[in-house]
Structure formats: C-alpha cells, structure tokens
Structure 1
Amino acid sequence: MTTPDTSTRSVIVEKEFPHPPQKVWRALTESSLIEQWLMRNDFQPVAGHAFTLRMDPVPNWNGVIDCEVVAVEPCKTLSYTWGALGLGSVVTFTLTPTDAGTRVRVEQSGFRPDQEAAYKGATYGWQKFIGGLERVVAGLQ
C-alpha cells in the first residue's frame, strides 16, 4: 500500500514598489481599488469577514471566488482564504518597508499535486495582478 502525497505548493511573487506601505495597503484593502487591479468584490479588512471576488463567468465556472479574511495587520500583513473550483488556498500579502519604498510579497499556498492547472493559472495570474496593483498604487495621491 502506498501513501498518497499530501504535500502542497505555493505560488510566491515578490516585487519592490517605489511607494510607502500605507499607499500599498490602501490598494490592498479598499474595495474600489481592489476592483481596479484584481476583481469586483465586497471586501472589508476585518478578520472573519466573508467576501467574494467576482469576474465574468467562463465555461464551466461562474467566476466567483469565495473568501474569508484570516488576518489583518495594517500596513504589514493581509491574509484571506481563496476558494474556487475545488481549490482551498490562502493568499497572504506581506509588506516590508525598504529604503526605496515597499517590498510586496504575495503567497498563495495550498495547491495539491493534483491541482497543476490551478497552480499554473495562479502563477500567471499573480504576475498579472501584481502589475495591476503597482499601477493602481502609482495613481494614488
């Protein structure tokens, strides 16, 4: 009898933004700004708050991601669950001040070995989203 592989993988994207953590935090936690770089949402930066991220439906998927805020440490850490298409993962944003601005680290963890398509999709998606996040932050006053 063989033991199934229960290990999981994470997608990690890191980028330094030439902006202070407070500006990046706004784009991560204000619903109208999240919509500009990620998806439509009913997010609130309150631990335990259940919310959805919504994109246009595609074949075999209604475009809804069910989420719940896990942790909020203003201007430092934001973490929420991310559930869609059988994927139960956690997305964590970590902000670290640098001399030039803020290092933004995004980690989506919990990809099982049988979720290769979701892992590849997240790898592509977070590269795109982080670029959008940077554009939104750059436009803030």
Structure 2
Amino acid sequence: MSTATQTRSVIVEREIAQPAAKIWKALTQSHLISEWLMNNDFVAQVGHKFKLRGEWGGILDCEVLAIEPERSLSYAWDHANDDPLYALKSVVTYTLTPTATGTHLRVEQAGFRPEQKQAYGGAHAGWKQFLEKLEGVVDQQA
C-alpha cells in the first residue's frame, strides 16, 4: 500500500458509569442523537440513509452499515466539500463493552487522508466534546 492511499483513524474512548442499554438508546434514537451530536433523521436500520446537520451549516450524508444491538453501530459519514482538505469519506464505529462499573465506549472515525491534518485534529477534539455531551444525555435518562 502506498503512503498516498493510507488513511488514519481518530479513536476516542470513554468509560461511562451506565449500562450499555442506556448508551445504545442515546446512540440510536434520533431525538437523543440531536442532543449530543447533531440534528438528524437517523433510523437504526442497516442501509438507512440519513443526514447529520451541523450547527455550522454543514450537512453530512450518512448510511447505516452495521448494527449489533447494545454492542456495535457503524455508519458511513461523508462530508462533501469543495476544498479537498475538508472533503471526507469516513466510517464511524461505536463499540460498547460492559465493564464492572458500566460501559466502555470506543468511537473510531476512519478515513482521514495524510494531508487532512486539520480535519483529523478537529475530529479528535470534536469527538471528545460529543462524548462528554453524550454522557450527560445518558445520565439524564430515567
């Protein structure tokens, strides 16, 4: 594989003192996703195409790729942009692993090209903020 085609992944992990079922709900219910990630028309169904609408005005075209209830969720995350440094075709995967005190959540966004250093750094910071909000949303559930 040549270095020109190699991509990098942003990986952010977090321990959440809640059961996987509660976190899964926040990852897969449209109104809850809006509270921690972005406005959306998500449906937890493989093949469902949906949009994430960022507060900055950007729209991401997404498609559900894989679902393992309360264990794993993957979707394509495509951000079209006239500037190739910001155009991104990636895959976001959430993996939930039960722990003694709750759940270990791992988020991986794969597909950053080597020249996309700013987008990569932005995604790394962004996912940390999103997961902080996600934890708050999960904690508020009954």
TM-score category (smaller protein): over 0.9
Residue number in structure 2 paired with 1:39: 38
Whichever residue aligns with residue 83 of structure 1, its letter is D
- Judge conservation of contact 2:10–2:110 (CA < 8 Å) in 1: yes
- Judge conservation of contact 2:28–2:43 (CA < 8 Å) in 1: yes
Residue number in structure 2 paired with 1:54: 53
- Judge conservation of contact 2:66–2:75 (CA < 8 Å) in 1: yes
TM-score norm. by structure 2 comes to 0.92
For these two proteins, the number of residue pairs brought into alignment is 135
Gaps of 5+ in 2: 82-86
TM-score norm. by structure 1 comes to 0.92
Between the two proteins, what is the percent identity of the paired residues? 54
Residue number in structure 1 paired with 2:98: 97
Gaps of 5+ in 1: none
Residue number in structure 2 paired with 1:12: 11
Q: Give the alignment of 1:1-141 within 5 angstroms.
A: 5-57=4-56, 62-84=57-79, 85=81, 86-141=87-142
Whichever residue aligns with residue 119 of structure 2, its letter is A
| Cα root mean square deviation, aligned | 1.1
Change (3 A) 1:7 1:101: same
Which string of whole-angstrom CA distances, capped at 9 and with x for unpartnered residues, describes residues 104-125 of structure 1? 0000001011211211110110
Which string of whole-angstrom CA distances, capped at 9 and with x for unpartnered residues, describes residues 95-139 of structure 1? 000010000000000101121121111011001000000000000
In structure 1, how many angstroms separate the alpha carbons of the residues matched to 2:50 and 2:33? 13
Residue number in structure 1 paired with 2:84: none
1:4 is displaced (CA, Å) by 5.3
Which string of whole-angstrom CA distances, capped at 9 and with x for unpartnered residues, describes residues 14-41 of structure 1? 0110000000000000000000000000
Which string of whole-angstrom CA distances, capped at 9 and with x for unpartnered residues, describes residues 53-94 of structure 1? 00234xxxx410110000011000000011113200000000
